[in-house]
Chain A
């Protein structure tokens, strides 16, 4: 009877999901309600979690609750601590969810809402969540070792070094892209810049409170910090209206670039308790609260999607937001939310050291990634509720807009200058044109959803739009800056470790000359790409976001290669397809995208073609743009080469093990029975 009930429930969920997908796929020309998109996503997640993750947990990985986890064996009450699985789920989600799942879907909305949504939903169930789960499981069985260490031990030392190098390069591109999003959101925006600038003294105050004044009183410090943050948000509106104060916080993108670099340097050099940790706590509070409120707001108002299911840019490949056709660029643009290599660093970082039982890895690794995908779906909804004309005007530079004007006009994606001025005034800004990077358009979408929800609940009016807009900007900028803090610092540690092989003293993380030189080198690395993006006439997103997507997905390919190697060595070769299939897909899309970005004959798409089109130009920036194109070509080819080496090394290892030419030696931690299993 119970079994019959389960069949009925899961059959019903499957039918509902299929119906929702049917509505989304078959609607042409008419407006679709966001409810269908949410239903399709949630039903797919439910089925994926209930059946596929269970299959992975029991049949493929063989999770064993009688085996003690690192948190139990190495418990030190600090970083190795057995933690309730729901609490750890929240912690893991807060660590993996950043700007990526919010911005990627917004940019991919230029193809329409359908391609990005399908990739978010299907990609996560079969790829992204599998990657997070497999790496968490592998690290769990190895005392919480990092991805690089696992590659070194389970594939070979060369693979470990290659993976570490790949992570460092990817980090530099990632930080540049994220910084570019913040710069584009804050340029000529005194309200936004004032609010974000205030987060620095607020974080310093919190750090002093927690470390010096009342050690460990995180709750008190965070409550004060959150109150001051909201105060800064409201005060920002007042500052923007003051003729003497507003110019102090009104800066060009170039000036903001230098400020960001200075900030990144100090965040890396200062002790973590002073700036990095307090900002991280504030960011986490804000992130979880806002995402929950956004989910409720979308459910309350169920907005209609004004963007069509497919736009002409899906097949033409001449999108003004970024160039390239749906295949492969939709899959590159949306990395976080569908599959993100960066998660493998978190899944082999703090999380495996806190898992109480092996079976908890299913909820945390697989379930955590499903939640991130859901955030991506919400971002897609927020972007697609905007008028398409507004969306393209906000995300496109004037040069790119002029190139795409004919297609935009034919598709009806037009907006008048007056309408844009009126929208900017409602959001408390002087202009919203050419705010590429996704964050401002997402903020307008979120502001409209929040304002709509408060109106429908009878608790507000549309005059709150400006406040909601700047709240959304603050929410995005805050956790992007957290990633810049931690990323620059981790990049600094990696650089110190690498240089330490040549000069051992350089590896001492507390030796200040080394700290300063390595921090400056990392900041200069991402700062150069950031500057390149800021001065790019087509908007840096066109060149940098695909580069980031390619690098992030290539890191996922590294993680899946390591996962496949471990499964084969465990004697589970018959199940190796669970990681090998997403790996094959990732290699296909990233190599295709990388090849097109380098060698395409279209100057908007190919770096080399763009450089060739500038040859002989009288433009004063031509020499620098040509150099940047060549640098981007080098970086793309470097990523592709590094990952090819790692995959070939892995495949060789698989062949040696499967053909019994090499013993399958696993480097797992020794089996120790869990305390509760032995009755302790």
Chain B
């Protein structure tokens, strides 16, 4: 069974690997407090509305809100 994605055959193992890698990088992003556009898209899907921000706008807003955070001594 070789599922097709965007017209390109891709084995289940490759897809699985890619999802593991993506998941790992999302965890790292969240740990270091970096912007995570996927989280915003998930929120929009769950809330039932279209994303109001593209990735560039989201990143800009994210950095602005993070500027008020503090790192401890």
Q: In the bound complex, do residue B27 and residue A284 qualify as a contact, i.e. CB atoms below 8 Å apart?
A: no
Identify the closest chain A residue to B34 (Cβ): A218
| B63: A residues at CB distance < 8 A | 211, 271-273, 277
Residue pair A91, B31 in contact (C-beta under 8 Å): yes
Q: Which residues of A contact B32 (CB under 8 A)?
A: 91, 94, 218, 222, 280-281, 284-285
In the assembled complex, which residues on chain B have CB atoms less than 8 Å from the CB atom of A99?
Answer: 73
The reply to whether B35 and A218 form a contact with Cβ atoms under 8 Å apart is yes
Residues of B contacting A651 in the complex (Cβ-Cβ under 8 angstroms)? none
> What distance in Å separates the Cβ of B8 from its nearest Cβ neighbour in chain A?
23
Cα distance A320–B14 when bound, in Å?
62
Answer yes or no: A342 CB below 8 A from chain B CBs.
Answer: yes
User: Chain A residues near B68 (CB, 8 Å)?
Assistant: 489-490, 493
**A215 at the binding interface (Cβ < 8 Å):** yes
Q: A91-B30, A94-B32, A218-B34 are in contact. Are A489 and B67 (CB under 8 A)?
A: yes
Task: List the A side residues contacting B65 at CB < 8 Å.
Answer: 78-79
Interfacial residues of chain A within 490-521, with CB under 8 A of chain B in the complex: 490, 493
Complex Cα spacing A479 to B71, Å: 9
Q: Are B72 and A336 in contact (CB under 8 A)?
A: yes
Residues of B contacting A284 in the complex (Cβ-Cβ under 8 angstroms)? 31-33
A587 contacts the other chain (CB 8 A): no
Residues of chain A contacted by B50 (CB below 8 angstroms) = none
Taking CB atoms, residues of chain A closer than 8 Å to B20 are none
Shortest Cβ gap from A598 to chain B (Å) = 23
Given contacts A78-B62, A94-B31, A285-B32, contact A215 B55 (CB under 8 A): yes
Task: Please indicate which of the listed interface residues B32, B35, B40 has the most CB atoms of chain A within 10 Å of its own CB.
Answer: B32
- Knowing A76-B43, A273-B63, A281-B34, the reply to whether A483 touches B58 (Cβ < 8 A) is no
8 Å CB contacts to A: which residues of B16-73?
25, 27-37, 39-44, 46-47, 55-56, 58-73
Tell whether, in the assembled complex, residue A345 and residue B70 are in contact, meaning their CB atoms are under 8 Å apart.
yes
Q: Which residue of A lies closest to B29 (CB)?
A: A218
Contact B67 A272 (CB under 8 A): yes
Q: Report whether B69 and A350 are in contact in the complex, using a CB–CB cutoff of 8 Å.
A: yes
Residue ID in chain B nearest A274 by CB atoms: B63
Chain B CB within 10 Å — which of A76, A97, A552 has the most? A76
With a cutoff of 8 Å between Cβ atoms, the chain A residues found around residue B58 in the complex are 78, 216
How many Å lie between the Cα of A79 and that of B47 in the bound state? 16
Q: Are A219 and B61 in contact (CB under 8 A)?
A: no
Residue of B28, B40, B44, B70 near A490 (CB, 8 A) is B70
CB-CB nearest in chain B for A285? B32
- Given the complex of chains A and B, what is the CA–CA distance between A178 and B70 in angstroms? 15
Chain B neighbourhood of A216, CB < 8 A: 35, 37, 55, 58-59
* Closest A residue to B45 using CB positions: A77
List, in ascending order, chain B residues with CB within 8 A of A336's CB: 72-73
Docked-complex contact B73 and A483, CB < 8 angstroms? yes
Residue of B nearest to A100 (CB): B73
Which residues of chain A are near B25, meaning CB under 8 Å? 219
The residue on A at minimum CB distance from B33 is: A91
- Picked from B30, B44, B69, the residue with its CB within 8 Å of the CB of A77 is B44
Cα distance A84–B24 when bound, in Å? 13
Q: Are B64 and A272 in contact (CB under 8 A)?
A: yes
Q: Which residues of B contact A342 (CB under 8 A)?
A: 70, 72-73
Contact A78 B61 (CB under 8 A): yes
A644 within 8 A of B: no
Measured CB to CB, the nearest residue on chain A to B31 is A90
Q: Which of A77, A97, A277 contacts B66 (CB 8 A)?
A: A277
Q: Is A174 an interface residue (CB 8 A)?
A: yes
Question: A493 contacts which chain B residues (CB < 8 A)?
Answer: 68
Taken residue by residue from 31 to 59, chain A's Cβ proximity to chain B (1 for < 8 Å, 0 otherwise) reads as 00000000000000000000000000000
Binary CB contact string for chain A from 316 to 343 against chain B (1 if under 8 A, 0 otherwise): 0000000000000000000110001011
Instruction: Decide: B34 and A349 in contact? CB cutoff 8 A.
Output: no
0/1 per residue, A70-112, Cβ < 8 Å to B? 0000011111010110011011001111111000000000000
| A589 interfacial by beta-carbon distance below 8 Å | no
CB distance from B58 to the nearest CB of A (A): 7
B51: min CB distance to chain A, Å: 9
| Whole-angstrom distance between the Cβ of B10 and the nearest chain A Cβ | 22
B41 and A77 contact, CB distance less than 8 A = yes
Given contacts A94-B31, A219-B29, contact A210 B59 (CB under 8 A): yes
A656 within 8 A of B: no
Kindly state whether residue A346 has any CB partner on chain B within 8 Å: yes
Q: Which of B27, B41, B59 contacts A215 (CB 8 A)?
A: B59
Most buried by B among A87, A216, A346: A216
| A178 surroundings in chain B (CB, below 8 A) | 73
A229 → chain B, closest Cβ, in Å?
Answer: 15
The reply to whether B72 and A343 contact each other, CB–CB distance below 8 Å, is yes
Q: Determine if B41 and A174 form an interchain contact, defined as CB atoms under 8 angstroms apart.
A: no
A192 → chain B closest CB, angstroms? 21
Q: Residue A180 at the B interface, CB < 8 A?
A: no
Q: How distant is the Cα of A78 from the Cα of B30 in the complex, in angstroms?
A: 11
Separation in Å of the A407 CB from the closest CB of chain B? 31
Give the chain A neighbours of B59 by CB distance below 8 A. Answer: 210-211, 215-216, 273
* Residue in B36, B41, B62, B67 with the greatest tally of chain A CB atoms within 10 Å: B67
- A482 in the interface, Cβ–Cβ < 8 Å? yes
Contacts A94-B32, A174-B73, A276-B67; A87 near B27 (Cβ below 8 A): yes
Q: Are B42 and A77 in contact (CB under 8 A)?
A: yes
Is A594 located at the chain interface by the 8 A CB criterion?
A: no
Interface string of A216-233 (1 = CB under 8 A from B): 101100100000000000
Max chain A Cβ within 10 angstroms of own Cβ: one of B27, B31, B58, B65: B31
Q: How far is the CB of A565 from chain B (nearest CB, A)?
A: 23
Chain A residues near B46 (CB-CB < 8 A): 75
Give the Cβ gap from B26 to chain A, nearest Cβ, in Å.
9
Query: How far is B34's CA from A210's CA once the two chains are assembled, in angstroms?
Result: 10
B73 — nearest CB in chain A belongs to which residue? Answer: A100
Among B55, B66, B70, B71, the one with the most A-chain Cβ atoms within 10 Å of its Cβ is: B71
CB-based closest 6 A-B pairs: A77-B43, A77-B40, A272-B67, A90-B31, A218-B34, A273-B63
A-B contact pairs, 28 of them (CB 8 A): A77-B39, A77-B41, A78-B61, A78-B65, A84-B30, A88-B30, A94-B33, A96-B72, A97-B72, A98-B72, A99-B73, A100-B72, A211-B63, A215-B55, A215-B59, A216-B37, A271-B63, A271-B67, A272-B67, A273-B59, A280-B71, A281-B32, A281-B34, A342-B70, A345-B72, A350-B69, A483-B71, A552-B73
Residues of chain B at the chain A interface (Cβ within 8 Å) = 25, 27-37, 39-44, 46-47, 55-56, 58-73
Binding site for B on A (CB under 8 A): 75-79, 81, 83-84, 87-88, 90-91, 94-100, 174, 178, 210-211, 215-216, 218-219, 222, 271-273, 276-277, 280-281, 283-285, 288, 335-336, 340, 342-343, 345-346, 349-350, 479, 482-483, 485-487, 489-490, 493, 548, 552
